[in-house]
Amino acid sequence: MTLHTEAEYLAALRQFDELLDTDSGNTAALLPLRDAIHTYEKAQDFHPGPPQTIAGRIEVEMFRRRMKQKELAALLEITPSRLNEVLKGKRQINLDLARRLYQKLQIPADFILDAA
C-alpha cells in the first residue's frame, strides 16, 4: 500500500483509528496501514511538534502507557464520560483534575496552567 496524496493520508489515518477502536485484533490490517502512513510521513518530512492542548497531552500519555480511555479514567478517578468530554473539548478541566493530571500522569503544572 502506498499513499500519494494528503487526502489518501488522512483517509488512512481515519481508517487506522477506526481499526484501533474496534479492538478486535486487526493486526493483519493495521501493520500495512501503519507502514504506509509512516512512509508517507517520512517522505513529506512530517515532524509534528509536541501537543499544545490538554487533550493532546492526555492522548499522548494514553498512547505512551498503552491505555484505553476507560483505563485512564479509572487511573484519574473520573468517569469515562467526563474524560471523553475533556478529550473532545466539550468540558474544561477543573483544579481537581489538573492536580490529578500532574500527580498521576506527571504532566507539568506549567503546561496545564498555560493550556487551560
Shared domain check, 59 and 18: no
pLDDT of 17-33, one tens digit each?
888 777 666 677 788 88
pTM: predicted TM-score of the whole model, two decimal places: 0.58
Report yes or no on 18 lying in a domain. Answer: yes
Output b/e per residue, 15-25; b: 16+ Cβ within 10 A: ebeebeeeeee
Q: Range of 80's domain?
A: 54-115
pLDDT of 37-92, one tens digit each?
989 888 888 777 778 899 999 999 998 889 999 999 999 999 999 999 999 989 99
Give me the amino acid identity at 47.
Answer: H
Shared domain check, 61 and 109: yes
- Asked if the model's pLDDT at residue 100 lies above 90, the reply is yes
Shared domain check, 37 and 60: no
Shared domain check, 38 and 60: no
Rg (CA), the chain: 16
Shared domain check, 73 and 28: no
Report yes or no on 49 lying in a domain. Answer: no
Shared domain check, 22 and 72: no
